[in-house]
Amino acid sequence: MTTDQTPSLKSNFIIAIDGPAASGKGTLARRLARAFNLPHLDTGLTYRAVAAELLAQNLALDDEAMASEIAANIELGNLDKDILSDHKTGEAASKIAVMPGVRKALVEAQRNFASKAPGAVLDGRDIGTVVCPDADLKLFVSASPEVRAKRRHEELISKGKPSDYPEILSDLRIRDERDASRTDSPMKKACDALLLDTSKMDIETAFLAAKKWANAALAAKSKD
């Protein structure tokens, strides 16, 4: 038993968490990883790292060959959330994420991360559908665009950064549309994913629900 009262892991235990920006999926993924003693990969950072490199070198965001080459050389150990989390990088990441060459390279690195014992928690847009379709637990975390924009707005204000709610809401809607309508691996709920709508939930309530599902998935796996 771990300190979190979870049974010991017999083999790779994979939790896949998908959902739109500011849905709370990142916080849930981090907390589940801690509770189950698993490494965590925020796959959004891998797309952000490619975008940040293109921006830093003043390269075009529609150069798929260059973006794919950068993607093939991304080091997962070097992803710095503080450096990659700004709004401009997120927008650019969503644009380069439509490119099959970029996705192919990043998905390979993400699968490699997930394949190591004792398993992992990964969050993103296509984890349950493409990266880890055999995950032990799949969650799709969602919330209304207004609630997500309010969260982002309050987060920026609390950090003393400038923020404009209508602009954030409009950008979120555009990003959702781009992420959900691209041809290669669009953001969507896997048919066997559990839906967690956090619109009217605080993060603690959402975490307790997710942890309950994860404990059940782990118990089912231990019986196999």
Complex with ligand DC: residue 39 or 90, whichever CB lies closer? 90
Where does the chain have alpha helices with state H? 25-35, 43-56, 64-72, 81-84, 87-96, 100-114, 145-158, 165-181, 203-223
Complex with ligand DC: residue 9 or 156, whichever CB lies closer? 156
Instruction: Give the pair of three-digit tokens for residue 144.
Output: 């209304």
The CB-of-90 to ligand DC minimum distance in angstroms stands at 5
The CB-of-94 to ligand DC minimum distance in angstroms stands at 3
DSSP string, 155-218: HHHHTT----HHHHHHHHHHHHHHHHH-SSS-S---TTPEEEE-TT--HHHHHHHHHHHHHHHH
Using CA atoms, how far residue 31 sits from 66, 110, 148, in Å, is: 35, 19, 19
Complex with ligand DC: residue 38 or 141, whichever CB lies closer? 141
Helix (H, G, I), strand (E, B) or coil at 66: helix
Complex with ligand DC: residue 10 or 111, whichever CB lies closer? 111
Which residues in this chain contact ligand DC in the complex, by CB under 6 A?
A: 21, 43-44, 47-48, 90, 93-94, 97, 124-126, 175, 179
The CB-of-129 to ligand DC minimum distance in angstroms stands at 10
The CB-of-5 to ligand DC minimum distance in angstroms stands at 30
The CB-of-21 to ligand DC minimum distance in angstroms stands at 4
Complex with ligand DC: residue 15 or 218, whichever CB lies closer? 15
CA dihedral 36→40→44→49, nearest 10 degrees, is 170
